Amino acid sequence: MFATKKLAMSVCHRTVFVSFRSMSIISGPKEKHFASCVHYSQVRGKRKNSFNSLFESEPSKGIVGVTSSERKNTKKLTPRDITTILTDFIRKPEIRNLATEKGLNAQQLRTAFVRFRSFCLNGEELPVELEIVLNDILVGAGHPDDLFGQFMDFAMKMYPHLLCREELSRICDLRDPAAWYPQARSLGRKIIFHAGPTNSGKTYHALEKFMKAKSSVYCGPLKMLASEVFQKMRDKDIECDLATGDDRIYSNPSGERSSRLSCTVEMAPLQENFDVAVIDEIQLLQDNQRGWAWSRALLGIAAKEVHVCGEAAAIPLVKNLLATAGETVEVHEYKRLTGLKVEDSALISLQNVMPGDCLVCFSKRDLYTVTKNLENLGHRVAVIYGSLPPGAKLIQCQKFNDENDECNVMVATDAIGMGLNLNIRRIIFVSLKKVEINSDGKRSLEPLSVSQALQIAGRAGRYGTQYEEGNVTTLNARDLRTLKSMLSSLPQPAEKAGLYPTAEQIEMFSYHLPDSSLQSILEIFTDLCQMDDSLYFMCNIESFMYLAEKIDSIPLPLRARYVFCCSPVNIKDNIVVTILLRMARHFSKNKIMDANWLTKQMQWPPQVPNNIADMSQLESLHDVFDLYLWLSLRFTDQFQETDNVRQMKKLLDSVIVEGLAHLSRLMSNDGDNEESMVSKVPKVSKGSFADNLIQSGTISPEVLDRLKSEWKKEQTKSDKDTKIE
Ligand SMILES: Nc1ncnc2c1ncn2[C@@H]1O[C@H](COP(=O)(O)OP(=O)(O)OP(=O)(O)O)[C@@H](O)[C@H]1O
Ligand SMILES: [Mg+2]
C-alpha cells in the first residue's frame, strides 16, 4: 500500500464515471501517472471555441411558406436597405434581451447575427416570407421587431440544443446531489468523523467498527490500502472480499459475496445495505481528479453507521455537505501516537544518510539520481514510486521493513504518503516543490501544501514499528526553515467537494442530441450544468475528453464509448493509449481479445531492462495488463482471459523488480540526459562558491539564476564589443 494522498492528487486516476444513482460501477482508481499531457488550457481554449461551434451548422435553406405570387407584390430590396434594417434590428436592447431569454449567449447572438446578415445579403433568392417582412419594414408597414421570429428560426438551426435547453438544463442540474441517493437517505445514517493528524489511529478505530459489524465496507484511497485491509481480515480469519478497479476477490471459494468488503473508493457499492461503512482519507473529496468518488461515497453509501477518517481541516465541509442531506456529524478527535521531531539541520550530503532514512523526491528523475548516488555510497536501497506496479512496491516495502535485510534506506516519491505504515525513522525531503495539475488541467511546479508535507512527514516513526519516534529534515539547508514552518501549520480547510457527470446523465444528453459526439456532449454538459458553487466543483475532465476525441471515429455504442473514455490510463503514455485504441477498435467489431492477441500488441516476453527507457516501457506494459483487467470487469465477453493476463502480470512484476535491483546500471546506460534537480544539489566539500552560497542560505537559486543571466548578457555584450573593435 504505497501511494500518497498527494500521489492521488497528482496522478492520473483515470477516474471513472460511476452512476451516482443505481447503475453499476464502471470504474476503478489507478495509483499511477501524472494526469495529462494535453494542457487543459489547450482543451479549455478548444472548448471555448468549440462550444459555440458545436452545433453551428449553416442553415442552408431559409424560411419558407410564402408563394412566389406574393413575392411579385414586394419591392426590390437593395443590400443597403437590408443592412440598414438589420443594423436597426440588432441594436435594439429588447431584441438582445429576448434572444438571451431564448438561450442565446452574447457570443452565439453575435455569430448568429453575422451569419443571418450574410444569409440575407448573399443568398441568391431570399425566402419569400423573410423578403415580405423586410419589405414591410422598408415601406413603414412593419417594425424591425417583426424580424425576431425569422432570426430565431435561423439561430435555432445553428444551435439546435437551444430547442431542448430546458430539458438539458434539468438533466445537468447538480444542485442537490444528496437527493440522488434515496437508499442512503432512507436509513437515517449516523456519521462519525475520526479526525486527527497522521499516525493518530483514525483508520485503526474505524476498522475496529468495520471488523465487529455484521456487514461492512471499507472504502480506501488506493488499491494497496484496500488490499492491506483485505489482507488484515484474512490474517484474522474474518471473511472479507476485495474490489478494486481491476480486481475482485471473494473470500468464499464458491464466489458468493461475503458480508464484508474492502474496496477502492470508486468501487463503493451504493446499492447494497451495510451496518458499517468506513470512508478513509475523506479530505480527498477536494481532489481535482478523483474528488467526486469521495463525494459520491459520503453522500451515497447505504450504511447505518458511516465512519469517515481524515484531516480535521475537512470537518466543516463534510458537515456542510451532510447538512444538505439532513444528517449531522459526530467528531472524534485523535492525537498523534508517537513523537515527530523536525531536526535542527539539513542532511546537506547523501553521505549523512543512515539506516531507516527515507528520501522523498517529487520526480522520477530525482528519485533515480538519489538512488544511484546512494548505491554508489554502498547503500542497499528500496525504491517506491507511483507508476511502480503494486506487486513490485510490496516487495520493496517488505525488503525495507525487514530488519534482517541489508536494505535499510528507502528512496520514494510522495507515493508513500497515504496511510502507510513503514519502518521509517527519518523522512528527508529532497525538495519542497512538485508538479501539480490544477482544475483547468494546467501543470506547474508548485510548493507542497501543508497537508502534503504533513502526510509525508507523518510516515516517520509510525506507532508499532521499529522506530516509534520520527524525525524529519530536508536535503538542502535552504528548505529547512520552510519545512519547519509548514509542519507547524494546520492544513487549509477543505473548501469544495468534487462532482462528475454520471453515465446516465450523459446518456440522457445523448438522447436529446443524437448527432453529437461524446466529447461535445460532455462539453455542453459542463457548460450548462448548475451546482452549488459554495460546496462543489466539477472535477477535471481532461483525460476523458482526450480519449473521447481519440475514439471518436470508432463506431461504438455510447455506453461502451463512455467506459473506454473512463479507462484508467495515463494519456501521456503512448504505448497504453495506442493499445487502448486497438482494443476499442476490436471491441467495435465484436472481437474477443485473448492473451495471445494482447501479447501481439506488445513486446513479449519482457526482457530484463537495460536502461531507464526499457524500465518505463515495462511499466507501460504493466498498465496495459491493468487496463485489460479493468475492461474485463466491464466487458466480460470480449476480455475473458483474466487468469492468463494475471500470470503475465506476475512475470512482468518479477522482471521489473529485477530491473530495480540494478537501477544504477540502468541509469548509467540511460540515453536520457534530462537534468535532475538533485544533480544540481551542491556537495558541500567540492561545491563551487555559488553553490556554497546557496547552501548556506546566503542567496536563493532564483537570485543566482538571475545573476547568471545578467552575467551572461554582460558577457555577450562585451564579446560583441570586442568583435566590433
Ligand atoms: N489503539 C491502538 N492499538 C494498537 N495499534 C494501534 C492503535 N491505534 C493505532 N494503532 C496502529 O498505529 C498505526 C497508525 O494508526 P492508523 O493507521 O490508524 O493511523 P492514521 O491516523 O489513520 O494515520 P494516517 O493519517 O497516516 O492514515 C497503525 O499500524 C495502527 O494499527
Ligand atoms: Mg489512516
The per-residue pLDDT for 57 is 45
DSSP string, 514-536: TTS-HHHHHHHHHHH-EE-TTTE
Give dist(CA 291, CA 541) in Å, integer: 12
By the 8 A CB rule, do 126 and 62 touch?
A: yes
Residue 334 has pLDDT above 80, yes or no: yes
How far does residue 341's CA lie from ligand 1's centre (Å)?
Answer: 19
User: Lowest mean pLDDT: which of 56-60, 232-236, 489-493?
Assistant: 56-60
Distance 199 CA to ligand 1 centre (A): 5
What are the distances in angstroms from CA 604 to CA 335, 581, 598, 630, 639? 51, 19, 9, 20, 19
- Strand partners for 217: 261, 277
Which among 199, 205, 452 is the best mutation to test ligand 1's pocket, defined by most ligand atoms within 8 Å of the CB? 199
The CB of 393 under 6 Å from ligand 1? The reply is no
The beta strand positions in 370-526, using DSSP E, are 381-384, 409-412, 426-429, 433-437, 443-447, 469-474, 497-499
Ligand 1, atom 23, residue with closest C-alpha: 199
Q: Is any atom of ligand 1 closer than 6 Å to the C-beta of 200?
A: yes
The pLDDT > 90 percentage for the chain reads 50
Tell the residue nearest (CA) to atom 31 of ligand 1. 204
pLDDT at 316: 97
- Work out the number of other CB atoms within 10 angstroms of the CB of residue 672: 11
Kindly report the protein residue whose alpha carbon is nearest to atom 1 of ligand 1.
201
Is the C-beta atom of 203 inside 6 A of ligand 1?
yes
Across 164-180, average pLDDT: 88
201 lines ligand 1 (CB under 6 A): yes
pLDDT tens digits, 691-705: 555 554 445 555 566
Higher pLDDT, 74 or 274: 274
Is the C-beta atom of 458 inside 6 A of ligand 1? yes
Using a 6 Å cutoff on CB, does residue 470 contact ligand 1?
no
H/E/C letters for each residue in 356-373?
CEEEECCCHHHHHHHHHH
Section 465-480 average pLDDT: 92
Q: What is the identity of the amino acid at 668?
A: S
Q: Which atom of ligand 1 is the closest one to the Cα of 194?
A: 21
C-beta of 198 in contact with ligand 1 (< 6 A): yes
Topology classification of domain 79-158: Rna Polymerase Sigma Factor; Chain: A (1.10.1740)
Q: Report the separation in Å between the CA atom of 657 and the middle of ligand 2, taken as the mean of its atom positions.
A: 28
CA of 225 to the centre of ligand 1 (A): 13
**More confident position, 378 or 17:** 378
| Closest ligand 1 atom number to CA of residue 310 | 25
**pLDDT score of 521:** 87
- Higher-confidence residue of 371 and 32: namely 371
604 vs 34, residue with greater confidence: 604
Atom of ligand 1 nearest to the CA of 309: 22
What single-letter amino acid sits at 1? M
Q: Which of 2, 204, 208 to mutate to test the pocket of ligand 1 (most atoms within 8 A of CB)?
A: 204
Q: Which of 463, 466, 469 to mutate to test the pocket of ligand 1 (most atoms within 8 A of CB)?
A: 463
Ligand 1 contacts CB of residue 421 (under 6 A): yes
Atom of ligand 1 nearest to the CA of 207: 18
Q: Which pLDDT band, with edges at 50, 70 and 90, does 400 fall under?
A: very high
CA-proximal residue: ligand 1, atom 7 (nearest): 201
- Chain-centre distance for alpha carbon 93: 43
Q: How far apart are the first and last CA of the chain?
A: 67
**Cα separation of 17 and 266, whole Å?**
9
CA of residue 51 to ligand 1 center, whole Å: 49
Ligand 1 pocket, 204 CB below 6 A?
yes
CA–CA gap between residue 105 and residue 111 (Å, rounded): 10
Q: Ligand 1 centre from 469 Cα, in Å?
A: 14
Which residue puts its alpha carbon closest to atom 12 of ligand 1?
463
Give 193 Cα–ligand 1 centroid separation in angstroms.
15
Is pLDDT at 280 greater than 80 in this prediction? yes
User: 148 or 51: which carries more pLDDT confidence?
Assistant: 148
Spacing, Cα 464 to ligand 1 middle (Å): 8
Distance, in Å, from the CA atom of 7 to the CA atom of 31, rounded to the nearest integer, reads: 7
**Confidence at residue 690, expressed as pLDDT on a 0 to 100 scale:** 59
Supply the pLDDT for residue 595: 94
Ligand 1 atom with the smallest distance to the CA of 198 is 25
Q: Is pLDDT of 326 > 90?
A: yes
Question: pLDDT digits over 654-679, tens only?
Answer: 898 888 887 777 777 665 444 444 44
Cell (9 digits) for 689: 562558491
pLDDT for residue 308 is more than 90: yes
Report domain extents, the chain: 79-158, 189-333, 339-488, 540-667
Average pLDDT over residues 643-661: 90
Q: How far is the CA of 399 from the centre of ligand 1 (A)?
A: 21
| 419 Cβ closer than 6 Å to some ligand 1 atom | yes
Model-level pTM?
0.76
Distances (CA, A) of 493 to 278, 283, 450: 21, 9, 11
CA angle, residues 161, 167, 168, in degrees to nearest 5:
55
Cα four-point dihedral sign 464, 467, 472, 475? negative
What ligand 1 atom has the least distance to the C-alpha of 204?
Answer: 18
Find out whether the beta carbon of 333 lies less than 6 Å from any atom of ligand 1.
no
Phi, psi of 692 (to 5 degrees): -65, -35
Q: 357 forms bridges with which residues in the sheet?
A: 426
Contact 151, 92 (CB under 8 A): no
Top CATH class, 540-667:
mainly alpha
Atom of ligand 1 nearest to the CA of 196: 21
Q: Give percent above pLDDT 70 in the chain.
A: 80
Contact 266, 20 (CB under 8 A): no
Weakest mean pLDDT among 34-43, 103-112, 507-516:
34-43
Answer whether 202 contacts ligand 1 (Cβ < 6 A).
Answer: yes
Model confidence at 282: pLDDT above 60: yes
User: What spacing in Å lies between the alpha carbon of 9 and ligand 1's midpoint?
Assistant: 23
Q: For position 661, what pLDDT does the model report?
A: 80
How many CA atoms lie less than 13 Å away from 139 in the CB half-sphere? 11
Tell me what the pLDDT averaged over the chain comes to.
82
- CATH homologous superfamily for the domain 339-488: P-loop containing nucleotide triphosphate hydrolases (3.40.50.300)
How close is the Cα of 580 to the center of ligand 2, in Å? 34
CA of 462 to the centre of ligand 1 (A): 8
Quote the CA–CA distance of 75 and 425 in Å, as a whole number.
93
418-466 confidence digits (pLDDT tens): 766 789 999 999 999 987 766 555 667 789 989 899 999 999 998 888 8
Q: Are 543 and 12 in contact (CB under 8 A)?
A: yes
Of 386, 320, 391, 332, the closest CA to residue 568 belongs to 386
With both helix axes pointing from N to C terminus, report the angle between 450-457 and 477-487 in degrees, rounded to the nearest 10.
100
**Residue 536's CB: how many other CB atoms inside 10 A?**
20
C-beta pairs of 575-581 under 8 Å, 24+ apart in sequence: 575/602, 575/617, 575/620, 575/621, 575/623, 575/624, 576/620, 576/623, 576/624, 576/627, 577/547, 577/550, 579/624, 579/627, 580/547, 580/627, 581/550, 581/551, 581/554
Same fold yes or no, 189-333 and 339-488:
yes
Rounded Cα gap, residues 81 and 120, in angstroms = 11
Ligand (nearest to CA of 335): 1
Cβ of residue 196 lying under 6 Å from some atom of ligand 1: yes
What is the C-alpha to C-alpha distance for residues 9 and 284, in angstroms, rounded to an integer?
Answer: 8
Residue 702: per-residue pLDDT: 58
What pLDDT does residue 409 have? 96
Nearest ligand by distance to the CA of 338 = 1
> Quick check: CB of 332 below 6 Å from ligand 1?
no
pLDDT in tens, 50-88: 444 444 444 444 333 444 455 555 567 889 999 999 999
What tens digit of pLDDT does each residue of 344-372 get?
999 999 999 999 999 999 888 888 889 98
- Alpha-carbon gap, residue 488 to 454, rounded angstroms: 9
> Which one of 3.40.50.300, 3.30.365.10, 3.40.50.261, 3.90.550.10 gives the CATH number of domain 189-333?
3.40.50.300
Higher pLDDT, 300 or 660: 300
Cis bond upstream, residue 605 (ω within 30): yes
Residue 605 has pLDDT above 50, yes or no: yes
Return the pLDDT at 710.
Answer: 62
pLDDT of residue 564: 95
Question: At 629, which helix (H) or strand (E)?
Answer: helix 612-632
Residue with more model confidence, 725 or 506: 506
Instruction: Tell me the residue length of the chain.
Output: 725
Q: Which amino acid is it at 601?
A: Q
Please give the pLDDT value at position 61. 41
How far does the centroid of ligand 2 lie from the alpha carbon of residue 349, in Å?
32
Alpha-carbon distance of 395 to 661, in angstroms, equals 11
Ligand nearest to the CA of 311: 1
